[in-house]
């Protein structure tokens, strides 16, 4: 059995395993590698003999652990395993992994000890005893694993004083002991205390009330049209105004003149006045007919533009540039005004 000596020792030595077992843990250095086993040079019928290279690598690995460099020890012991598997090599590798805090790998190395070929010295029963102690010492400093599920979705988790994370959370490595787990969703909050056991997995489910969101009436804005739609409305409005103007002219001017023309026809000596009025009525009717045709065409064109104009997103610039239509009236005249920006 290879033992790391007390601090200040000048050299390492291979000790007789039975003597170490009798002396017990009192011989172990407080901060060293503990009992680290070295294969003996003698062999028995049911065991395998370690090669000189394996023995040398074992000694170098033990020294690396004593020097406080478990990572170097891990590399050395793995190099020894490349030469051949030995129970003591796996045991010492597990010890180095435990010193490095790589607990899961240490457990796997300890599990490989019993299946590996056995060296004759130290005897298998001694190796088994040290393995049991190493396994018991592994429980405590090694962390446990926590997995958290949440309902509903969108919960934020905070464990102790760590930064918030999203839930669900899998494989959270935590030190053994009690930990405070807080779940937050909007104004809702729930808190649980979970106990983490070394080398074990824990499951936790947080359930929060679904926050009530006040839903107001939905305001649906009518789709806005582009330039074609705007000009369609202008055309339709202009055409409608022209039709109204034609009807007004017919009612106010042409119809009374036609009535007067009928009266002049029955009066003798009024042929010249009759002809003048008839000519005036025919001219007014021609102009009014043109106004009716133009107004109707504008209305039809405007309706078609409105119907086929694509919808567009509203914009402040578009709102400023939209054309406008206005009607004005004066003491002796009326008119239709149209403004726009291009």
Q: Which two tokens stand for residue 280?
A: 């005036």
- Residue 161: Cβ-neighbour burial (10 angstroms; 0-12, 13-18, 19+): exposed
Is the pTM higher than 0.85?
no
Q: What is the pLDDT of residue 286?
A: 83
CA dist 190 and 146 (Å) reads 17
Please identify, in words, the CATH class of the domain defined by 2-138.
Answer: mainly alpha
pLDDT digits 0-9 by tens, 61-119: 999 999 999 999 999 999 999 999 999 999 999 999 999 989 999 999 999 999 999 99
Q: Which two tokens stand for residue 187?
A: 């104004």
- Residue 106: Cβ-neighbour burial (10 angstroms; 0-12, 13-18, 19+): buried
Question: Do the first three CATH levels of 2-138 and 144-207 match, i.e. the same topology?
Answer: no
Inform me whether the pLDDT recorded for 326 exceeds 80.
Answer: no
Q: Which two tokens stand for residue 18?
A: 């039975």
Fold of 144-207: Immunoglobulin-like (2.60.40)
- The winner for highest mean pLDDT among 31-40, 152-161, 264-273, 325-334 is 152-161
pLDDT digits 0-9 by tens, 181-226: 999 998 889 999 999 887 788 989 989 887 655 555 656 655 565 6
- What are the extents of the domains in the chain? 2-138, 144-207, 224-339
Inform me whether the pLDDT recorded for 60 exceeds 60.
Answer: yes
CA dist 256 and 263 (Å) reads 11
Which element (helix H / strand E) includes 146?
strand 144-151
Residue of 180, 176, 168, 178 whose CA lies nearest to 200? 176
Inform me whether the pLDDT recorded for 143 exceeds 60.
Answer: yes
Average pLDDT over residues 283-298: 82
Question: How would you write 67-123 as a 3-class SS string?
Answer: CCCHHHHHHHHHHHHHHCCCHHHHHHHHHHHHHCCCHHHHHHHHHHHCCCCCCCCCC
Provide the H-helix boundaries in the chain: 17-23, 52-66, 70-83, 87-99, 103-113, 124-138, 227-249, 255-266, 271-308, 316-321
Residue 336 to residues 237, 258, 292, 295, 341, Cα–Cα distance (Å): 10, 28, 16, 13, 17
Inform me whether the pLDDT recorded for 273 exceeds 50.
Answer: yes
Average pLDDT over residues 292-320: 70
**pLDDT band of 339, cuts 50, 70, 90:** low
Residue of 94, 96, 111, 130 whose CA lies nearest to 17? 130
Inform me whether the pLDDT recorded for 165 exceeds 90.
Answer: yes
Inform me whether the pLDDT recorded for 317 exceeds 50.
Answer: no
């Amino acid at each position: 059995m290879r033992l790391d000596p007390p601090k200040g020792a000048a050299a390492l030595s291979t000790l007789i395993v039975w003597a170490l077992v009798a002396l017990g843990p009192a011989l172990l250095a407080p901060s060293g590698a503990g009992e680290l086993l070295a294969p003996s040079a003698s062999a028995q019928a049911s065991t395998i003999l370690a090669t000189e290279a394996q023995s040398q690598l074992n000694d170098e690995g033990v020294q690396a652990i004593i020097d406080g460099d478990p990572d170097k020890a891990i590399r050395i012991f793995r190099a020894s395993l490349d030469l051949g598997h030995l129970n003591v090599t796996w045991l010492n590798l597990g010890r180095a992994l435990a010193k490095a805090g790589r607990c899961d790998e240490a457990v796997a190395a300890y599990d490989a000890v019993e299946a590996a070929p056995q060296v004759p010295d130290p005897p298998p029963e001694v190796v088994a005893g040290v393995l049991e102690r190493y396994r018991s010492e592994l429980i405590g400093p090694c962390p446990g694993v926590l997995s958290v599920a949440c309902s509903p979705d969108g919960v934020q988790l905070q464990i102790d004083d760590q930064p918030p994370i999203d839930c669900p959370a899998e494989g959270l490595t935590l030190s053994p002991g009690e930990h405070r787990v807080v779940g937050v969703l909007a104004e809702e909050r729930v808190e649980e205390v979970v106990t983490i056991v070394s080398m074990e997995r824990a499951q936790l489910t947080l359930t929060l009330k679904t926050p009530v969101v006040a839903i107001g009436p939905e305001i649906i804005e009518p789709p806005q049209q582009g330039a074609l739609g705007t000009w369609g409305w202008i055309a339709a409005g202009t055409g409608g105004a022209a039709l109204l103007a034609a009807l007004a002219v017919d009612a106010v001017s042409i119809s009374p003149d036609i009535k007067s023309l009928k009266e002049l026809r029955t009066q003798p000596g009024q042929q010249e006045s009759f002809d003048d009025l008839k000519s005036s009525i025919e001219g007014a009717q021609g102009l009014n007919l043109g106004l009716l045709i133009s107004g109707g065409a504008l209305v039809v064109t405007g309706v078609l533009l409105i119907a086929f104009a694509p919808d567009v997103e509203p914009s402040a610039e578009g709102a400023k540039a939209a054309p406008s239509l206005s009607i004005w009236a004066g003491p002796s005249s009326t008119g239709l005004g149209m403004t726009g920006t291009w």
